[in-house]
Amino acid sequence: MNREKTHWNFDNSYQVLPKILFKNQTPTPVKSPELIVMNGSLAETLGLSVEHLQSEEGINVFVGNQIPENSVPIAQAYAGHQFGHFAMLGDGRAVLLGEQITPDNRRYDIQLKGSGRTPFSRGGDGRAALGPMLREYIISEAMHGLGIPTTRSLAVVTTGEPVYRETILPGAVLTRVASSHIRVGTFQYAANWGSRDVLQNLADYTIDRHYPEFENQDNRYLTFLRRVIERQAKLISKWQLVGFIHGVMNTDNMTVSGETIDYGPCAFMDQYDPATVFSSIDREGRYAYGNQPSIGAWNLARFAEALLPLLNENQEKAIEIAEGEIAQYFTIYNQYWLAGMRAKLGIMNEEPDDEALVNDLLQLMQEYKSDYTNTFRSFTLDKLEGEKMFSKEEFKKWYKRWQERLSRQKEPKEEVLKSMRNHNPAIIPRNHQVEEALNAAVEKGDMSVMNVFLDALAKPYSYTKEQEKYCQLPTPSNQPYQTFCGT
């Protein structure tokens, strides 16, 4: 391939690790690929030629029909606790082409999702359907717009071949971009099926790649654990602050880089309710919105267990160290969450009763089924409209407390409202609007609905008149909204 045209600049540093952690795997060719959507701004950030990626040669790379120069494709091995049950997993339908080195010398994984069977497929066909791949594209790019660390989507290409699920669906491949695809489950795999040397090699590589600032510290594995705990606490607090529900918080879906990954049955909450669940497979509500912080702690405990041999040679001492670090998680999480909630309410300093003020509001929102995003949007616009709660005496009392709280800080109202705009999105990818975009794209071949939607989601804090249509709530339905893994 002509690298002058495409600027693919691949490295394969993951392959210096022990072979037990991956399998060489060429993507399975497809018949007639067609580019459906491509992320031009992301392509340019990666140092890629948008024009060439849209060519026949570029599209063939996106489906694995053609392998770029210096790419050595692999499928990565990992394990995971899925709904609490431990299993050996791995990339069953994804191939890592390698790591793109950008013009500013940053490193990003380039992965093809839906590119065919691998040694880890566990009986699956290795393929993906168009709808779920477009869904991941929409949600991951929306998360990026919201300022939440996330994997991103570079392109979706149809394969010209069907995939068989409950019905026959058009096949597609998503090109996913990530700081890396190293998961908590990767460390669980190394700890359970590899030697201590394998685990240490993986930890050293991950530290060098994601936490190079402390790679020479004597206690770097302990520092590594602390930093992963902090990043995950911060990430999950950001989810909670915008009402995002991941839907399948298995340990194989938690990265050690602190990026959100694997947008399967995810969705955004409309009415505020901590018990909100959308995933069709989460029948017990394990991964409900209100449970996400606790599940984060549970997953991190599994990560700490995997690291035990590196924390101390004495297992009892290692367990004591790990337990002490995990015990800090909720303090760290609550600090990030409360700071974020203060920002959403325009509170720019700290007072002891702030958490009670926030929790009292959330309780009222739950009682009166208030829309999470639109409630804070109303506060930001300084217009109490559209929510039943606003007319209630309990809310008026709370509102008075809030205004008194704001009066005790030096910042003027104009500055407070301006700050609130930076922390309260005017829009989110609401479920009914995501479905509308997907139906137009998949059923009618009309990408215009999705493209306009993506443009709006790229700037969710801009509060433009054009965005107002995306603030509209879904019409009442007797059927609860459900999401599916798409596997």
Supply the pLDDT for residue 124: 84
Work out the number of other CB atoms within 10 angstroms of the CB of residue 328: 13
Query: What are 249-284's pLDDT values in tens digits?
Result: 999 999 999 999 999 899 999 999 999 998 888 888
Query: What are 390-423's pLDDT values in tens digits?
Result: 999 999 999 999 999 999 999 999 999 999 999 9
91, 109, 252, 282: which is the annotated catalytic residue? Answer: 252
Supply the pLDDT for residue 123: 82
Task: Give the predicted TM-score (pTM) of the model.
Answer: 0.95
| Chain length of the chain | 487
Residues of the chain with pLDDT under 50: 1-4, 487
Instruction: Specify the 3-state DSSP secondary structure of 75.
Output: strand
Supply the pLDDT for residue 3: 44
Supply the pLDDT for residue 279: 82
Supply the pLDDT for residue 166: 85
Instruction: Specify the 3-state DSSP secondary structure of 171.
Output: strand
Cα separation, 90 vs 22, whole angstroms: 8
Which pairs count as long-range contacts for 412-416, CB under 8 Å and 24+ apart, including other chains? Answer: 416/346, 416/348
Cα separation, 327 vs 269, whole angstroms: 29
Catalytic annotation present for 360: no
Listed by start position, the domains of the chain span: 1-254+292-333, 347-421
Question: How far separated are the first and last CA of the chain, in Å rounded?
Answer: 32
φ, ψ of residue 291 to 5 degrees: the values are -90, -10
Assess contact for 202 and 184: CB atoms under 8 A.
no
Pure H helices in 168-255 = 184-193, 196-210, 220-242
Sign of CA dihedral 128, 131, 137, 142: negative
Supply the pLDDT for residue 5: 53
Supply the pLDDT for residue 218: 79
Supply the pLDDT for residue 283: 81
Looking up tokens 């019409």 gives 475
